[in-house]
A and B are shown apart, each in its own frame.
Chain A
Amino acid sequence: MTAVSAPVPRKPSGPGVLVRRLVDKYLLLVYTALAVIYLLLPVAIIILFSFNDPAGKSNVVWQGFTLKYWFHPLQVDGLPQAVGLSLVIAFLSTAIATVLGTLVALALVRYDFRIRKATNALIFVPMATPEIILGASLLTMFVSIGNDPFFPLNFTTILIAHVMFNISYVVVTVRARLSGFPRHLEEAAMDLYANELQTFWKVTFPLILPGIIAAALLAFSLSIDDFVITNFTSGKAQTFPMFIYAKNRIGVPPQVNVVGTIIFLVAVGAVLITTIRGRRKK
């Protein structure tokens, strides 16, 4: 390549050019670095304050380094129950919403039917509604029904709410993966005498599985961190975000930061693993 003789453009020189080149090269990069620092600063604070040894109840002033809350991350009244409830709700709502949403996505991409516009609207509108409205309207409904299993608010009402807001996200995620789907592979399977169910499980499902996993991860992370809708539908039941909210007035204990950090690390790990596996397959 180097042997090719091309006319060398005459380079202008002088101090102005140097400034120019530096600005060209670095201005946007420096800006991006600052923006990333800005985005991650609160995350860093959360992690940092899991090592803080606060003097009183409030954990907002740096006092000194300690590892003790990392050795006993759940030793606060109510915290293990809250984390447990959040995990159970997140698993169940993810499972239900992923199944329901995937079926809807399959119908939308694979079949012709009459109510397509209405279906698309019903998928889209919940995502465009402020969370407070989703929570408030569910609360109103539960109150006006006024008896079991909806009122008083409990585990079931939280689960109903989480499945509701997760369905749309699952549909959108799976649909995005399905739209470039190689249909001829299914036709080939059918030509080779596979029936519809066999074709689905042996061909379609493995191919859309990455999309389903991505949707499930998204649903799980939305559910485990949801505060606003849970605030309206949880009653006395306390999820992890509800626990933080309740503790905010008197001071959030460092153990909460420890749990928050662990959730962050697990989520980052999950993303890394799926990315690396995805790359290997390519």
Chain B
Amino acid sequence: MGVWLKRHSWITPYALLAPGMLWLTVFYVYPGIQMFIASFWSGSLEKGFTFSFENYTNYTDAFNQFAPYYGRSIVYAAAATLLTFLIAYPLAYTIATKGGAQKNLLLFLVVAPFFTSFLLRTIAWKIILADSGIVLGPLKGFGLVPDDFRLLATPIAVISGITYNFLPFMTLPIYVAIEKVDGRLVEAAKDLYAGPWRPGGLIIGGLVGGTLAAVLGVIFNWNWPVMAILGGSMGAFTGWYLVSESFIRVTFPLSLSGVFAGSLLTFIPAIGDYVNAEFLGNPDTRMIGNVIQNKFLTQNDYPTAAALSFMLMAGVLAVVAIYARVLGTDDLSTGRM
């Protein structure tokens, strides 16, 4: 045996690869092909399915009927990705640059939600956003929102659920990227007279703060121009005060790889999600995932469901392929830890 192995040592890597790769081929690649085939089926589960390329109408019909659901999924997933970025970047930055001895503890706290059930966390948001819960209860008590005001069963609830559930996917890659930035580069920039970044910080901070506050104002039916001015001035002060040239010219550009990786890692699960829309939304907030799940598991309409899934997969994989081509896949795998 040993002698035989020595003579044919080229076999060893293939032998090591074979079982795992076989599993992925049989249970990932082949099902994908099978789903493509199923998208050209006609018939039903009871009578049996038949394959024909003439059933390409499955795609056109499904798309015509469900295009709004794709649109909604893209909008919700994009909004949630943007929000996770806004929340995660300062968090990751603080942990990476000011975490000190608490770094590991803080990272642990970021991933701690993953140790509880995804579904229970989403149900917890149902409790938090409830009509007289800990958010709306006090607001209604102070008369800041009308008594019949709701967050639950609105797009806001769905987007906040998605934002919350996938926040660590954004935080970790950004943290890794900022952590890797060579501190000497920042020092060098400061030596070369990189100072505060007043006008830019003021404008960007003002715009971000103003927009967020205005959106909040619109949601809660408060005077949104006043909100925009309030939030805008707070954001402008923060940006004016905190943002430095060394950050804009060194740290931020070097951390962009983490931002891109985090965006992809958040956007992918977000666009296929149906749990948040089902638990926190209403019939008008249903996403493409809800349609696919319903077609597959309730209606047994496999051909339409397969066509819908295949279009979703093609879209996602196209984005992933462009990303991998341009930026490589290393950042993505570090972020998933």
A137-B32 in contact given A39-B167, A130-B272 (Cβ < 8 Å): yes
Contact indicator A241/B119 (Cβ below 8 Å): yes
| Listed stretches B90-98, B204-212, B224-232, B250-258; interface member | B90-98
Task: State how many angstroms separate the Cβ of A143 from the closest Cβ of chain B.
Answer: 6
Task: State how many angstroms separate the Cβ of A253 from the closest Cβ of chain B.
Answer: 12
Chain A residues with CB below 8 A from B145, complex form: none
Contact indicator A31/B91 (Cβ below 8 Å): yes
Contact indicator A43/B112 (Cβ below 8 Å): yes
| Listed stretches B62-70, B185-193, B213-221, B288-296; interface member | B288-296
Contact indicator B13/A164 (Cβ below 8 Å): no
Q: Which residue, A35, A61, A112, A225, has most C-beta atoms of chain B within 10 A? A: A35
* CB 8 Å contact bits of B18-41 with A (1 = contact, 0 = none): 011101110111111011011000
A29-B238 in contact given A40-B109, A46-B124 (Cβ < 8 Å): no
Q: Which residue, A130, A141, A163, has most C-beta atoms of chain B within 10 A? A: A130
Does B336 count as interface, using CB distance less than 8 angstroms?
yes
Give which listed residue, B23, B317, B333, contacts A167 with CB less than 8 A.
B23
Q: How far is the CA of A172 from the CA of B272 in the complex (A)?
A: 23
Does B329 count as interface, using CB distance less than 8 angstroms?
yes
Contact indicator B94/A42 (Cβ below 8 Å): no
Give which listed residue, B21, B104, B296, contacts A232 with CB less than 8 A.
B296
Does A49 count as interface, using CB distance less than 8 angstroms?
yes
- Count of residues in A whose CB is under 8 Å from the partner chain: 90
Task: State how many angstroms separate the Cβ of B22 from the closest Cβ of chain A.
Answer: 9
B residues neighboring A (CB under 8 Å): 2, 5, 10, 12-14, 16-17, 19-21, 23-25, 27-32, 34-35, 37-38, 45, 49, 87, 90-91, 93-95, 98, 104, 106, 108-110, 112-121, 123-128, 130, 164, 167-168, 238, 241-242, 264, 268-269, 271-275, 279, 289, 292-293, 296-297, 302, 305-306, 309, 312-313, 316-317, 320, 324, 329, 332-334, 336-337
A residues neighboring B (CB under 8 Å): 23, 27-29, 31-32, 35-36, 38-43, 45-46, 49, 60-61, 99-101, 103-104, 106-107, 110-113, 115, 119-120, 122-134, 136-141, 143-144, 160-161, 163-164, 167-169, 171-173, 176, 195-196, 218, 221, 225, 227-228, 231-232, 240-241, 244-245, 248, 252, 256-257, 260-261, 263-264, 267-268, 271, 275
